[in-house]
């Protein structure tokens, strides 16, 4: 897994932070905590790289500890999905439901590749 230099601009004060992160290749999605060197703003960023060109980095920004949010909400989420699925069955032929084992997001790379990335939920591993 190659290290990738990344410049992240703080969403609070705009200061660029140079990061040395080991960003995994999709479908692996890794959460990083970033502390701004200027204002100490703590942010969580989910990152992955395109499996085709392995170059373009995709990231999802969240002020929340997103992985923890997912875990907390996953029980409610499963119930919600069931309701959404049945309410959409008239309009959507195939509705992919993220199973409790992982949380999935669909990404599109600048190279044109569309790929999924996911967070495995810890309860499914340990
Ligand atoms: Zn900052
Ligand atoms: Zn790509």
Q: How far is the CA of 21 from the centre of ligand 1 (A)?
A: 18
Q: Would the pTM count as exceeding 0.85?
A: no
Contacts of 112 (CB under 8 A, 6+ apart): none
Ligand (nearest to CA of 113): 2
What is the C-alpha to C-alpha distance for residues 109 and 26, in angstroms, rounded to an integer? 11
Specify the pLDDT at position 71: 66
Are 63 and 122 in contact by the 8 Å Cβ rule? The answer is no
Tell me the residues surrounding ligand 1 (ion) with CB < 5 Å: 10, 12-13, 15, 36, 38-39, 41
Count of C-beta atoms within a 10 Å radius of residue 21: 17
The per-residue pLDDT for range 43-83, each reduced to its tens digit, is 888 889 999 998 777 877 666 677 777 666 666 766 777 77
Ligand (nearest to CA of 48): 2
What is the C-alpha to C-alpha distance for residues 38 and 73, in angstroms, rounded to an integer? 33
């Amino acid at each position: 897994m190659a290290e990738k230099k990344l410049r992240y601009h703080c969403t609070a004060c705009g200061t660029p932070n140079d990061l040395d992160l080991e960003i995994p290749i999709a479908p692996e999605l890794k959460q990083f905590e970033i502390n701004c060197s200027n204002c100490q703003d703590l942010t969580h960023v989910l990152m992955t790289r395109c499996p085709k060109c392995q170059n373009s980095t995709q990231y999802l920004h969240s002020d929340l500890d997103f992985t923890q949010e997912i875990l907390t909400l996953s029980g409610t989420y499963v119930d919600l999905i069931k309701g959404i699925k049945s309410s959409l069955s008239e309009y959507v032929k195939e509705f992919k439901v993220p199973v409790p084992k992982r949380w999935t997001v669909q990404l599109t790379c600048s190279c044109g590749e569309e790929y999924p990335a996911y967070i495995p939920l810890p309860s499914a591993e340990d």
